[in-house]
Amino acid sequence: MASFKQCHVMMFPWLAFGHMIPFLEFSKKLAANGIRISYISTPRNVQRLPAIPPNLADRIKFVEIPLPSVDGLPQHCGATIDLQQVQIQYLKKACDGLREPIEKLMQEDLPDWILFDFVQCWIPEIAAKLGVPCAFFSAYSAAALAFMGSPQELTSFKKRNKPEDFTMAPDWFPFPSLVAHRLDQAAIMFQNVRFPDISGMSSGDRLAKTFEGCDFVAVRSCREFEGAYLDILGQLYQKPVLPVGLLPPNSVGNRSHDSDSSNWSSTLKWLDEQEPKSVVFVGFGSEYKMPIEQVHELAHGVEHSGLPFIWTLREPEGVSCQDLLPSGFMSRISNKGLVYLGWAPQLEILAHFAIGGCLFHSGWGSIIESLGFGHPQILMPMVADQGLMSKLLVEKGIGIEEQRNEDGSFNREVVAKTMRLVMVEQEGRPLRQKAAQMQTIFANHDLHDSYIRKLIQYLDEYKKKEY
């Protein structure tokens, strides 16, 4: 066989930016080691993804495949960011309609490997038909994956057959763990995992089919942070589980945004005027569409904390800028805080000396970026695996989760109290110290590059066995 560095890997992430971005970062790491990448997504998503660095442009090719029309799915939709939560099932149905185009694509430019996401659980059947080995790449953490269980449990529900069962660590964890859902999120998880949606499959069915059909599982994780949970995965799946490192962003300087814009310039000027490690960075990612009443309650909590803050806020659909925040809020906080509407350069903000902690939604990607700068976490999980990630950080002693009401709502007093505890109170000092120590793992590029090299070695040896 020719040198493995000439091999061709297809990447096919689920149509959510929380999945597409890690797949793209993974692609860049592989391409930097000489591997040719075909990255598959919809035309609209390709337009919105960050540009490929010039030194990798000849090794990474975006392959655009349009979604088929599906009743219930808005036209021109390309990703979950374009949809309300209830509409995502229609996107899954449309994604399932890509099976024939993907098979044709693979026949025309046969890859040595295809790495795919769990929604596309039909990829292993195509790959086997064409003699192409395949792997599931998880943008989720090892702890979140381990919580979901084995393929058998995901289809039989012998050990977890009601929502309450998802509010405690599963019995296949051989050690005490806090990783579990709140009851309000457990009910949603149980519904999604057990019962088919409009696509005809449940998330549990898709995960089980993925785990059973792939040749190995690659996870965005590392042993230095999640070693015990990675060991559980190997036992659950009875096949190789390979951490690929945390895929931390390479640098602050090479980002796809206009950092010279007046909005960013004024934001940077404001940050420069703040004391070191005094500012709370508040943000909930690009996906979550926070209801207006939650926005208002959070605003009151942030204000009542008395701490300086920068809040990157996505405007909900159908809400005017005037109604987005409580009456008089902007004037009251004008000397203490800053609200940045729309997309913001998160990495640049995290890197600034003024940032001392983060009030985030507990998304794995944002956690990786913020702990790369050693920031302690004020945790307010909202959807999907975020509740599991929040509990993992609490377990590790690097974050505190906001207390919630039974329905998942929160109140301003608790928000303010938690912010102060994490940022300035003596009780939060051990947490701040532990979070600062996380830089040695999360910002260690040599460490994470070593995981990529080990993965490439595994792929090379696997292919050699076929010849």
Measuring CA to CA, which residue among 339, 341, 389, 336 is closest to residue 366?
389
Bridge partners for 357 per DSSP: 280
**Residue 17 amino acid letter:** F
Express each pLDDT in 2-31 by its tens digit. 444 479 999 999 999 999 999 999 999 999
Alpha carbon 383 to chain centroid, angstroms: 11
3-state secondary structure labels for all residues of 329-373: HHHHCCCCEEEEECCCCHHHHHHCCCEEEEEECCCHHHHHHHHCC
pTM: 0.93
CB 285 within 8 A of CB 363: yes
Residue 105 Cα distances to 6, 37, 127, angstroms: 19, 14, 12
Q: What is the pLDDT of residue 2?
A: 43
Q: What is the pLDDT of residue 313?
A: 86
3-state secondary structure labels for all residues of the chain: CCCHHHCEEEEECCCCHHHHHHHHHHHHHHHHCCCEEEEEECHHHHHHCCCCCHHHCCCEEEEECCCCCCCCCCCCCCCHHHCCHHHHHHHHHHHHCCHHHHHHHHHHCCCCEEEECHHHCCHHHHHHHHCCCEEEEECCCHHHHHHHCCHHHHHHCCCCCCHHHHHCCCCCCCCCCCCCCCHHHHHHHHHHHHCCCCCCCCHHHHHHHHHHHCCEEEECCCHHHHHHHHHHHHHHHCCCEEECCCCCCCCCCCCCCCCCCHHHHHHHHHHHCCCCCCEEEEECCCCCCCCHHHHHHHHHHHHHHCCCEEEEECCCCCCCHHHHCCCCHHHHCCCCEEEEECCCCHHHHHHCCCEEEEEECCCHHHHHHHHCCCCCEEECCCCCCHHHHHHHHHHHCCEEECCCCCCCCCCHHHHHHHHHHHHCCHHHHHHHHHHHHCHHHHCCHHHHHHHHHHHHHHHHHHHHHCC
Domains of the chain: 4-248+444-465 (3.40.50.2000), 262-442 (3.40.50.2000)
- Residues of the chain with confidence (pLDDT) below 50: 1-5, 254-260
Residue 418 Cα distances to 331, 376, 404, 406, angstroms: 24, 12, 12, 18
Place of tokens 């019995």: 171
Place of tokens 């608790």: 414
Residue 352 sits at φ, ψ, to 5 deg, of: -70, 140
Q: What is the pLDDT of residue 397?
A: 97
* Beta carbons within 10 angstroms of residue 453's beta carbon: 12
Q: What is the pLDDT of residue 261?
A: 67
Q: What is the pLDDT of residue 5?
A: 46
